[in-house]
Amino acid sequence: MDFAKSDIQAMLLDSADRLLSENADVEYWRHQRGGALGFDEARWARFAELGWLALPVPEAAGGLDGSIEDIALLNIALGKALATEPYVSTVVLADHVLKQAADQLRAMELLGDIAGGTLRIALAHQENGAHPLGVEARGTVARASGDGYVLSGAKIMALDAPSAGQFIISARIEGEEGTGLFLVPADAAGLSIEPYALIDGTRAADLAFADVALPAGALLVGGNRGAAVLREAIDRASIALMAQAVGAMEAANKVCGAYVQERKQFGTAIGSFQAIQHIMADNFIAAHQARSMLYHALANADQDEATRSAALSAARLVIGEAGQVVSRNGIQVHGGYGLTDEYAIGHYFRRLMCIEKQYGDLIQHGERFGDSIFG
């Protein structure tokens, strides 16, 4: 066991520091939020140049073959800077599904496009009323038709969908068991997209499929393996999001630590009051324990599914709660300014709330972890 960063990890963090730190402020965030996609495509191209989009891509496809630890460390940096780029959707989630695809030749091509920054892929799996931790598709059906399929149904809250060129869609294949994973272009006939912003400035969309015709090659992963592959991909996305949460918490703590030393009331810095000091101590503890749990999830990332998902849910439980403690307390020590869009803490608060609820929230992960303990 070694917590020291490898040379590659140190380089990664160094490049992240240089690219992200100049644009980690309220002005930048507000500007991006007002744009068409919620992030800067020029910076996405920089991500590609720096190799970040090739991080989990196999060397055979021109990638860096990075580990889940590498991905986590980069995502800590993205979280610190409140980066709104669709990194987790495209580079963590879609990459993992593509690596498991039946047609590896085609998959490597797509991974190459992702690495080059020319293709973004979003997952559309969640359906209205479905359990957020479920990996079965219920209301989306693919019917065999000629050489291909016809897709019908609807998805909600597809994260980062408005900027994606392709979607990975989970669907029940008529007459078969399980869930298949299909690749569907964003401009497919019969596909309608309702894009919207989330409270943190990132984007999502609801998708509706009205008999969308797909070629046979659109089926990336068949019904026999689809649910398992989706579970793995979502678990990896969860780890990356937790890393972003840890980065966001640590950054929020720095912001609050500085604020309570600047802000004066009764003629003295509010950080001199014990009540404020104890809040800040609680925030430090929460962020520290959150990072510890990220390590726990990482250490178990390659274990069998039961062990992995138990560790992941335990981590989501601690990190989800810690994110709320840190950012709610952070707003409290800022007083009224914490509620304005002009102070950073409110941006951290909204981002941490989004992460807490994506791919299963505190309650659902608590239940899943509890079930793993008592059966």
Contact residues: another protein, CB under 8 A:
1-6, 9, 69, 73, 253, 257, 260-261, 271-272, 274, 276-278, 280-282, 284-285, 288-290, 292-293, 295-296, 298-299, 311, 314-315, 317-318, 321, 363, 366-367, 369-371, 373-374
User: Residue 170 CB, nearest distance to another protein (Å)?
Assistant: 28
Rg (CA), the chain: 21
Task: Choose among 232, 234, 239, 293: nearest CA to 73.
Answer: 239
Q: How far is the CB of 266 from another protein (least distance, A)?
A: 16
Going by C-beta distance under 8 Å and a sequence separation of 6 or more, which residues neighbour residue 226? 170, 178, 179, 180, 181
Identify which of 186, 128, 197, 188 has the alpha carbon closest to the alpha carbon of residue 156. Answer: 128
Half-sphere exposure (CA, 13 Å, Cβ side) for 242? 38
Closer residue to another protein (CB): 39 or 369: 369
Cβ proximity to another protein, 105 vs 275, nearer residue:
275
Q: How far is the CB of 345 from another protein (least distance, A)?
A: 15
DSSP summary character for residue 236: H
Q: Which is nearer to another protein, 70 or 85 (CB)?
A: 70
Nearer to another protein among residue 71 and residue 159 (C-beta):
71
Say how far apart CA 358 and CA 344 lie, in whole Å. Answer: 22
The per-residue DSSP string of 39-101 comes to S-HHHHHHHHHTTGGGTTS-GGGT-----HHHHHHHHHHHHHTT--SSHIIIIIIIHHHHHT-
Nearer of residues 348 and 369 to another protein, judged by Cβ: 369
Question: Mapping DSSP to helix (H, G, I), strand (E, B) and coil, where does residue 359 land?
Answer: coil
In the complex with another protein, the residue whose CB is nearer, 184 or 287, is 287
**Closer to another protein at the Cβ: 10 or 199?**
10
Q: In the complex, what is the shortest distance from the CB of residue 261 to another protein, in angstroms, rounded to a whole number?
A: 7
Shortest distance, position 297 Cβ to another protein, whole Å: 9
C-beta separation of 363 from 316 below 8 A: no
Task: Give DSSP secondary structure letters for 272-304.
Answer: GSHHHHHHHHHHHHHHHHHHHHHHHHHHTTTS-
Q: Which is nearer to another protein, 195 or 257 (CB)?
A: 257
Minimum distance from CB of 274 to another protein (Å)?
7
| Nearest distance in Å: CB 346, another protein | 20
* Residue closer to another protein, measured from CB, 15 or 253: 253
CB of 100 to another protein, least distance (A): 23
CB 263 → another protein: shortest distance, Å? 12
CB of 16 to another protein, least distance (A): 15
Q: Of 18 and 278, which has the nearer Cβ to another protein? A: 278
Contacts of 266 (CB under 8 A, 6+ apart): none
Cβ neighbour number for residue 144 with a 10 Å cutoff: 13
The token pair at 362 is 């505190």
- What whole-number distance in Å separates Cα of residue 310 and Cα of residue 314? 6
Q: Please tell me the distance from the alpha carbon of residue 140 to that of residue 93, in angstroms, as a whole number.
A: 20
Distance of CA 36 to the CA centre of its chain: 20
CB 46 within 8 A of CB 40: no
